[in-house]
Amino acid sequence: MSFGNASLCDEVDKKLIVVLRDGKKFIGVMRTFDQFANIILQDTIERIYVGDKYSDKHLGVFFIRGDTVVILGEIDPDKEVKEKKLTKVSWEEINLAQQAEREKLQQMEQTKRRIMTESGLTIDSILNLDDF
């Protein structure tokens, strides 16, 4: 079976977590895939983590375009929660928390930028590359 190819064959019908380029994480059972890594997830949930808090949103069957996939791997979502001692919060709460975290990061980035520009360095942000 192994020809030196990285294949998704072994992951079919397993529960996977899929991380997209925008940072979203989907957990579901992978039913099928193709050569582009387009994948179909069944019983999908979207899970957001902020610190030690998390929240899930049920989404059903999901078609994910391959070129947006960064990582996928097997996961047991309940075990993960237990082992990492995560606490479940509401979807609204996690969204707010995520927003706050983003703003904080953005602010840090700006400060860093300012300091670097002041000391004569300019850096092009690669953060916005994904916006198209």
Partner 1 sequence: MLPLSLLRTGQGHQIMVELKNGETFNGYLVNCDNWMNINLKNVIRTSKDSDKFWKLQSCYIRGNTIKYISVPDEIIDMVVEEEQVVKQHQPASSAGRGDSSSRGRGRGRGDGSGGRGRGDGSSSRGRGDGSVGRGRGEYRGRGRGDGSVGRGRGVHT
Write out the residues near partner 1 by the rule CB under 8 A.
Answer: 20, 22, 26, 31-34, 38-40, 42, 59-65, 67-68, 130-132
Decide if 41 contacts 65 (C-beta within 8 A).
no
Measured between its terminal Cα atoms, the distance across the chain in Å is 39
Smallest distance from the beta carbon of 95 to partner 1, in angstroms? 11
Nearer to partner 1 by Cβ, of 12 and 86: the residue is 12
- Judge residue 16's burial from the number of C-beta atoms within 10 Å of its C-beta, 0-12 exposed, 13-18 middle, 19 or more buried: buried
Cα 67 from Cα 36, distance rounded (Å) = 7
Smallest distance from the beta carbon of 99 to partner 1, in angstroms? 10
Tokens of 61: 């069957």
Nearer to partner 1 by Cβ, of 21 and 114: the residue is 21
Smallest distance from the beta carbon of 68 to partner 1, in angstroms? 5
Nearer to partner 1 by Cβ, of 22 and 83: the residue is 22
